[in-house]
Amino acid sequence: MLDIREIREKPRELEERLRTRDASIDLGPILRLDEDRRRLIGEVEELKAERNRGSQEVARRKKSAENAEDLLARLSQVSARITELDGDLRRVDEEIEAIVQRLPNVPHASVPVGAKDAKVILRTVGDAPRSGSAVRHHLDIAEEKGLLDFKRAAAIAGARFPMYVGAAALLEVALIQFMLTHHARRGYTPVLPPFVANEESFFVSSQLPKFADEIYHIEKDALYLNPTAESLLVNLHRGETLAATELPKKYVAYTPCFRREAGSYGEEERGLIRVHQFNKVELFKFTTPESSYDELELLIADAESVLQALEIHYRVALLPTEDMAQQASKTVDLEVYLPGQGRYYEVSSCSNCEAFQARRGNIRYRPSAAEKPTFVHTLNGSGLATSRLMAAILENNQTADGRILIPRVLQAAVGTDAL
């Protein structure tokens, strides 16, 4: 969430930068409401001062046995007006809050301006994958081998819920275990959080109110199914003031993730590319503002290290302004190539949200004992999502005799070197 004071102090600069994300953004209504708010506050303060002076005068008159009825009548009018203005002020505050909550974060200066096609490929890592008619789509080969059973999953839960069977189930669990342990060894504290969260938690993470239609809501219990562990981990220190010596705080969590994924995506609807449920290992950091962009580079490297360990070809892409999540100031994606479809797919988005989420969750740190607390910066990144990673293994590791080679670091856990 943006700071209303910053909007007030440099509205033209902020509006110009925000419009690179959404050309329809207009800060005019917020500024007008903010003027109304300050006017109302000024009027309330003047009336309260008058009421205080009047109360003192009433006390003096009563002590001197003087008549104070006219003054009491005036004070009654003043109190009624204060109550009325307080109501107006609450309504204006609510209007400002409703608008500010839906504004995206201000993009970092290094972020390219534009839509999806404006993304910048920063680097490509590993040998180019084999492609051509001999490479089969992951769904086709997985169903033939009995590794994925979408038909029975649909009977249980509905379309686009995956079910891993046999060696694929072992491979899925091996991926999760490997990534959780791998990141713990790199200094992240492992967390197994609840898989649901309340409305306040989803507000802090920025899923609410803007993306309410995209997440599963358990109305009876006022809870939401987790779409990404970012929504949970950002709330670990909600309402807390951390010591500078505690930062950066680094967490890694495993959760299943649930997303509506509404709409039609053509080829993406086949298999594991866009499903309603998938597993993910998530990385999260709380940092100082001064170190957050250095920490972003380290977080990207940590996510990349998984792909390197799995020996999967990938590329690194800097997302443009119109393609970032609401809370992000800068996002770098890791993309794996699926030769069965002839295109790259994102398996990790690593973002610096700066103080956007921290302001919503009142998460601060004290730079030193003599300084006032200030907001931390929050960073998140998949480390990684398993569904597309599984698709990448199935499509990139096919052999001429129809087997699927298992990455060496997972072979012991799965109990074989090929499917």
Least Cα distance to 374 among 349, 390, 393, 354 occurs for 354
Counting as low any pLDDT under 70, the low residues of the chain are: 130-133, 262-268
DSSP bridge partners of 191? 253
Which residue is listed with tokens 């309410």? 212
Provide CB contacts within 8 A for 94, sequence distance 6+: none
pLDDT at residue 79 in the model: 97
- Whether the CB-CB separation of 131 and 342 falls below 8 Å is answered with yes
Enter the pTM of the model. 0.92
SS3 257: strand
Q: What share of the chain is helix, strand, coil (3-state, %, to 5)?
A: 45, 20, 35
- Give pLDDT, residue 128: 75
Pick the closest to residue 346 from 327, 332, 325 (CA basis). Answer: 332
Q: Where in the chain is the domain with CATH 1.10.287.40?
A: 4-102
Burial (CB count <10 Å: 0-12, 13-18, 19+), residue 221: exposed
Between CA 358 and CA 101 the distance in angstroms is 13
Q: Given this model, what pLDDT does residue 236 score?
A: 98
Report the chain's terminal Cα–Cα distance, integer Å: 47
CATH architecture of the domain with range 116-414: 2-Layer Sandwich (3.30)
**pLDDT tens readout for residues 309-353:** 999 999 999 999 999 999 999 999 999 999 998 999 999 999 999
Nearest one of 181, 194, 169 to 390, comparing CA atoms = 169
SS3 labels along 10-59: CHHHHHHHHCCCCCCCCCHHHHHHHHHHHHHHHHHHHHHHHHHHHHHHHH
pLDDT at position 153: 97
Residue 131: what residue type? S
**Residue 352: which H helix or E strand, with range?**
strand 343-352
CB 332 within 8 A of CB 317: yes
Q: What is the pLDDT of residue 270?
A: 86
C-alpha to C-alpha distance for 419 and 415, rounded to whole angstroms: 10
Question: What is the number of other CB atoms lying within 10 angstroms of the CB of residue 83?
Answer: 10
Tell me the CATH number of domain 4-102, given options 3.90.220.20, 1.10.287.40, 1.10.630.10, 3.20.20.140: 1.10.287.40
With vertex at residue 43, the alpha carbon angle to CA 37 and CA 45, rounded to the nearest 5 degrees, is: 100
Spatial strand order in the sheet of 377-385: 120-125, 314-318, 330-338, 343-352, 377-385, 277-287, 249-258, 189-191
pLDDT, position 132? 64
Local structure of 1: helix, strand or coil? coil
- Nearest Cα neighbor of 229 from 203, 197, 260 is 197
User: What is the pLDDT at residue 210?
Assistant: 85
Q: Which residues pair with 253 in a beta bridge?
A: 191, 282
Report pLDDT for 134: 81
Check residue 211 and give its pLDDT.
87
CA distance 208 to 201: 9
What pLDDT was estimated at residue 262? 67
Q: Which residues are designated catalytic?
A: 259, 274, 346, 349, 388
For 157-182, the DSSP string reads T-TT---B-THHHHHHHHHHHHHHHH
In the structure encoding, which two tokens stand for residue 84, read together?
């009325």
Which among 327, 409, 322 has a CA at the least distance from the CA of 17?
Answer: 322
Range(s) for CATH 3.30.930.10 in the chain?
Answer: 116-414
